[in-house]
A and B are shown apart, each in its own frame.
Chain A
Amino acid sequence: GQQVMQIPQYQHVQEGEDFTTYCNSSTTLSNIQWYKQRPGGHPVFLIQLVKSGEVKKQKRLTFQFGEAKKNSSLHITATQTTDVGTYFCAALGGGAQKLVFGQGTRLTINP
Chain B
Amino acid sequence: ETGVTQSPTHLIKTRGQQVTLRCSSQSGHNTVSWYQQALGQGPQFIFQYYREEENGRGNFPPRFSGLQFPNYSSELNVNALELDDSALYLCASRQGQVRNYGYTFGSGTRLTVV
With an 8 A cutoff between CB atoms, is B72 at the interface? no
Measured between beta carbons, the chain B residues less than 8 angstroms from A33 are 102-103
Of the listed stretches A12-20, A62-70, A100-108, chain B binds A100-108
With an 8 A cutoff between CB atoms, is A27 at the interface? no
Measured between beta carbons, the chain B residues less than 8 angstroms from A47 are 102
Say yes or no: A43 contacts B48, CB within 8 Å: no
Measured between beta carbons, the chain B residues less than 8 angstroms from A90 are 42
- Tally B residues with Cβ within 8 Å of A: 26
Measured between beta carbons, the chain A residues less than 8 angstroms from B59 are 1
Residue of B33, B59, B92, B103 with most chain A CB atoms under a 10 A cut-off? B103
Q: Which one of A1, A46, A101 lies within 8 Å of B43 (CB-CB)? A: A101
Measured between beta carbons, the chain B residues less than 8 angstroms from A95 are 55-56
A88-111 vs B, CB cutoff 8 Å, 1 = contact: the mask equals: 101010111111111110000000
> CB-nearest residue of chain A relative to B107?
A42
Measured between beta carbons, the chain A residues less than 8 angstroms from B43 are 43, 88, 99, 101
A42 to B106, CA, bound (A): 7
Within 8 A of A (CB), among B12-44: 33, 35, 41-44
Q: Which one of A35, A88, A99 lies within 8 Å of B45 (CB-CB)? A: A99
Say yes or no: B55 contacts A99, CB within 8 Å: no
With an 8 A cutoff between CB atoms, is A11 at the interface? no
Measured between beta carbons, the chain A residues less than 8 angstroms from B101 are 48
> CB-nearest residue of chain A relative to B55?
A96
Given contacts A99-B33, A99-B45, A103-B42, contact A43 B99 (CB under 8 A): no
Shortest 5 CB-CB contacts between residues of A and residues of B? A96-B56, A45-B102, A101-B42, A98-B45, A42-B105
Interface residues of A (CB under 8 A from B): 1, 6, 30-31, 33, 35, 41-48, 50, 88, 90, 92, 94-104
